[in-house]
Amino acid sequence: MASTGSGGNLSSKLSAIGGATATTLMASTGSGGPSTLVASTGGGSTTLERPKTTPEKKVKKSGARANAGDWEIRLYNDPMNKREYVARCLMETCGLSEGQAFQVMMSAHQNGAAVVGRYAFEQAELYYQSLRGAGLTVDMVKVGDD
**DSSP-assigned letters across all residues of 57-94:** PP-PPPSTTTTTT-EEEEEE--SSS-HHHHHHHHHHHH
Q: Residue-wise over 80-92: b if at least 16 C-beta within 10 A, else e?
A: eeeeeebbebbbe
Range of the domain at 101: 71-142
Q: Same domain, yes or no, for 28 and 86? A: no
Is residue 115 in some structural domain?
yes
Helix (H, G, I), strand (E, B) or coil at 27: strand
Is residue 57 in some structural domain?
no
Which stretch of 3-12, 29-38, 63-72, 104-113 has the lowest confidence by average pLDDT? 3-12
Task: Judge contact between 101 and 88, C-beta under 8 A.
Answer: yes
Q: Is the pLDDT assigned to residue 89 strictly greater than 80?
A: yes
Query: How many Cβ atoms are within 10 Å of 11's Cβ, its own excluded?
Result: 13
* Averaged pLDDT for residues 49-65: 62
Is residue 30 in some structural domain?
yes
User: What's the CATH number where 125 sits?
Assistant: 3.30.1390.10
pTM, rounded to two decimals: 0.54
* Averaged pLDDT for residues 114-139: 96
Q: Same domain, yes or no, for 76 and 43? A: no
Q: Same domain, yes or no, for 41 and 80? A: no
Is residue 100 in some structural domain?
yes
Task: Judge contact between 25 and 1, C-beta under 8 A.
Answer: no
Q: Is the pLDDT assigned to residue 39 strictly greater than 90?
A: no
